[in-house]
A and B are shown apart, each in its own frame.
Chain A
Amino acid sequence: MNDPNEVEILLVEDNTADLELAMRALKKNHLANRVVVVTDGEEALDFIFARGSYSDRHVENAPKVILLDLKLPKVNGLEVLRAIKSDPRTKAFPVVILTSSKEESDIVESYQLGVNSYIVKPVVFDKFVEAVNNLGMYWLLLNQRPPPQSP
Chain B
Amino acid sequence: MSSIKGGERGLLSALTQIFGAIAAGFGLLTLAGWVLDLPLLSSFGLNLIPMAPSSAFMFGVLGIATLVHGRLPQSRRAQRVILAVGLFCALITLLLFFTSSMGIQLKAEHLGIPITGSLNGIPIGHMSPVTAFSFVLASLSFVASASSSSDRPKRPTFALWSAGLAILVHYVLVLAYFVGLPLLYGGVFIPPAFPTSLAFLALGVALAASARTHARPSSEPIEAHTTQSTFALWVTLVGLALGIVTAGYAYYRNYENNYRVEVEHQLSAIAQLKVGEIARWRNERLGDGSVLYNNPTFSDLVGRVLGRPEDGEAYGELRAWLVRVLESYDYDRVILLDAQGSERMSVPDTPGPVGLHLSQDILDIIGSRQMSFLDLHRDSQDQPVHMEVLVPILEEVDRTRVIGILVLRIDPERYLYPLINRWPTPSQTAETLIVRRDGNEALFLNDLRFQKDSALALRVSLEREDVAAAMAVMGQTGIVEAVDYRGVPVVADLRAIPDSPWFMVARMDEAEVYAPVRAKLWEVVVLVGVLLFGAGSGVGLIWRRQRLHFLQERYAMAHERAWLHEVISRSLNEVYVFDSLTLRFTFANSGACDNLGYTVEELAKLTPPDVMPEFTQESFRPLLPPLRTGKRKLLVFETVHRRRDGSEYPVEVHLQQVETGGEAVCLAIVNDITERRQAEQERDRRAAIQEATPDFIGLSDLQGRAIYVNRAGREMLEIGAEEDVSNLAIADYLADSARAFVVNEAIPAAIREGSWSGEGALLSRTGREILVSQVILAHRGPGGEVEFLSTIARDITERKRSEQALIESSSQFRTLFEASPDAILLIDPHDEWPILDCNMAACQMNGYTRDELVGQSVDLLNLTPGDPNERKEYVERIHRQGVLRLDTFHRRKDGSVFSVEVSTSLITLGGRDVVLGIDRDITERRRAEEEIRRLNVELEGRVAQRTAQLASANQELEAFAYSVSHDLRAPLRAIDGFSRIILEDFGNTLDPEGKRLFDVILTNTQRMDQLITDLLALSRVSRTEMQSSRVDMTALADSIYHEIASPEVRRKFAFYVAPLPDASADPALLRQVWSNLLSNAIKYAMPKAGRAIEVGGYMDNGMCVYFVRDNGVGFNPAYTNKLFGVFQRLHKAEEFEGNGVGLAIVQRIIHRHGGKTWAEGEINRGATFYFSLPAMEPNHE
Contacts and interface: CB of A to CB of B under 8 A. Distances in A.
Contacts of A18: 970, 973-974
Contacts of B1002: 124
A123 to B, nearest CB: 4
Contact of B966 (A17, A71, A124, A125): A71
Interface in A72-100: 99-100
B977 A21 contact: yes
B327 to A, nearest CB: 200
A24 to B, nearest CB: 7
Contacts of B970: 15, 17-18, 100
Interface string A103-141: 100000000000000000101111010000000000000
B962 A123 contact: no
A70 interface: yes
Contacts of A123: 969, 972-973, 976, 1005-1006, 1009
Contacts of A126: 980
B741 interface: no
Interface in A14-49: 15, 17-18, 20-21, 24
Nearest to A21: B977
Contact of B973 (A21, A71, A101): A21
Interface residues on B, range: 20 to 34
Contacts of A100: 965-966, 969-970, 973
A51 interface: no
Interface in B967-984: 967, 969-974, 976-981
Interface in A45-75: 70-71
A99 B966 contact: yes
Contacts of B1009: 123-124
A102 B1017 CA distance: 11
A63 B1013 CA distance: 33
B965 A125 contact: no
Contact of A70 (B966, B978, B1006, B1016): B966
B545 to A, nearest CB: 127
A21 B974 contact: yes
A32 B971 CA distance: 23
B975 to A, nearest CB: 9
A125 B980 contact: yes
Interface string B354-367: 00000000000000
B805 to A, nearest CB: 66
A17 B977 contact: yes
Interface string B992-1013: 0000000000100110010001
B973 A103 contact: no
A103 B962 contact: yes
Contacts of B965: 100-103
A111 B578 CA distance: 92
Instruction: Indicate the member of A21, A24, A123 with the most B CB atoms within 10 Å.
Output: A123
Q: Among B961, B967, B970, B981, find the residue whose CB has the most chain A CB atoms closer than 10 A.
A: B970
Contacts of A99: 966
Nearest to A24: B981
A121 B973 contact: yes
A95 to B, nearest CB: 19
Contacts of A20: 977-978
B273 to A, nearest CB: 172
A103 B981 CA distance: 29
**Range of interface residues on chain A?**
10 to 19
Contacts of B1006: 123-124
A21 B962 contact: no
B98 to A, nearest CB: 115
A103 B1013 CA distance: 11
Interface string B293-308: 0000000000000000
A101 B977 contact: no
Contacts of A21: 973-974, 977-978, 981
B284 to A, nearest CB: 186
Nearest to A14: B970
Contacts of A121: 969, 973
Contacts of B979: 125
B981 A17 contact: no
Contacts of B967: 71
Nearest to B981: A24
B973 A17 contact: yes
Contacts of B966: 70-71, 99-101, 103
A88 B980 CA distance: 42
A50 B734 CA distance: 107
B962 to A, nearest CB: 6
A101 B976 contact: no
A123 B1007 CA distance: 10
A77 to B, nearest CB: 11
Nearest to B967: A71
Interface string B945-973: 00000000000000001100111011111
Nearest to B970: A15
Contact of A128 (B962, B971, B977, B1005): B977
Most A CB within 10 A of own CB, among B971, B979, B980, B1005:
B980
Contacts of B977: 17, 20-21, 24, 125, 128
B971 A17 contact: yes
Interface in B989-1039: 1002, 1005-1006, 1009, 1013, 1016
A70 B961 CA distance: 15
A139 B966 CA distance: 25
B998 to A, nearest CB: 12
A97 B1006 CA distance: 22
A64 B164 CA distance: 127
A25 to B, nearest CB: 9
A126 B980 CA distance: 8
A125 B976 CA distance: 6
Contacts of B962: 101, 103
Contacts of B1005: 123-124
B455 to A, nearest CB: 180
Interface string B1142-1157: 0000000000000000
B321 to A, nearest CB: 204
A21 B980 CA distance: 10
Nearest to A123: B1009
Contacts of A24: 977, 981
A63 to B, nearest CB: 24
B978 A17 contact: yes
Contacts of A102: 965, 1013, 1016
A123 B980 CA distance: 12
B1022 to A, nearest CB: 15
A101 to B, nearest CB: 5
A21 B1002 CA distance: 15
A64 B974 CA distance: 27
Given A70-B966, A100-B969, A124 B974 contact: no
A71 B1006 CA distance: 22
A49 to B, nearest CB: 26
B346 to A, nearest CB: 202
Nearest to A106: B962
Contacts of A125: 973, 976-977, 979-981
Nearest to B968: A100
A41 B967 CA distance: 17
A55 to B, nearest CB: 32
A124 B971 contact: no
Contacts of A15: 970, 974
Given A21-B973, A103-B962, A125-B981, 17 more contacts: A15-B970, A17-B977, A18-B974, A20-B978, A21-B974, A24-B981, A70-B966, A99-B966, A100-B966, A100-B969, A103-B961, A121-B973, A123-B1006, A124-B1005, A125-B977, A125-B980, A128-B977
15 contacts: A17-B970, A17-B971, A20-B978, A21-B974, A21-B981, A100-B965, A101-B966, A103-B966, A121-B969, A123-B1005, A124-B1006, A125-B973, A125-B976, A125-B980, A125-B981
Interface of A: 15, 17-18, 20-21, 24, 70-71, 99-103, 121, 123-126, 128
Q: Which 3 A-B residue pairs are closest in the complex by CB-CB distance?
A: A17-B974, A21-B977, A123-B1009
